[in-house]
Structure 1
């Protein structure tokens, strides 16, 4: 059964859709399969598996892998690079939530009460 155009479009637009094989990922990133497996072992990315058991990566995961590669290329050990990326992302999310809470608090103070 063929997917509808809208279903296909949703998959193509989904940053977390596992569209890339390991071969495609290694070629795009200029890394080895062992490097990608290492990122999985360090719990930075967890590729989904196809029905045949092959690893599939999303664009989001490829961006994380590219960040890790830059750090490793600068001499950071892989485990440390993965931890740095995880902590950076957690900090970004905390800052985003903090800003959202502040906006809500300011908005509620500005709203006149009846």
Structure 2
């Protein structure tokens, strides 16, 4: 029987747990705190705040920031990169919902040959 998880272990496994300080997040991404602040100002990611008011980032937010960095490194302005990511996310959600509705109605998907 596997050992029970502690609340700390649960938090570490949670992609939404704000485990990373701004400095650590910037170092992990190979960028600057100013870049992370710019993503916040563009409302791409909204870090949680510690009791002392410091920004804290989750793994999920770091993945989004990494995608933004890829686009910026390719020459895309920060604001445009943020908009692209938001649109990509909206498209992914719409496709997911469409697939879910098709399954509920037993409608064949375009790629299953029906």
TM-score range, shorter chain: 0.7 to 0.9
Query: Which sections of structure 1, spanning at least 5 residues, go unmatched?
Result: 108-114
Name 1:25's counterpart in structure 2: 25
Q: Secondary structure at the match of 2:83?
A: helix
Deviation at 1:5, TM superposition (A): 4.7
User: How many corresponding residue pairs?
Assistant: 104
Partner of 2:111: none
Q: Secondary structure at the match of 2:101?
A: helix
The structure with the larger Rg is: 1
Structure 1, residues 4-45: CA drift from partner, whole Å, max 9, x if none?
952112111111100000111011000001000000000000
Normalising by structure 1, we get a TM-score of 0.88
Structure-2-length-normalised TM-score: 0.88
Report the Cα distance in structure 2 between the residues aligned to 1:100 and 1:78, rounded to whole angstroms: 33
State the distance in 2 between where 1:14 and 1:33 align.
Answer: 23
| Structure 2, unaligned runs of 5 or more | 108-114
Distance in 1 (CA, whole Å) between partners of 2:39 and 2:100 is 32
- CA-CA distance at 1:62 after TM superposition: 0.2
Per the TM alignment, residue 68 of structure 1 is displaced from its structure 2 partner at its CA by 0.2
The answer for the alignment partner of 2:60 in structure 1 is 60
Instruction: Give SS of 2:6's match.
Output: helix
1:1-114 matches, within 5 Å, as: 5-106=5-106
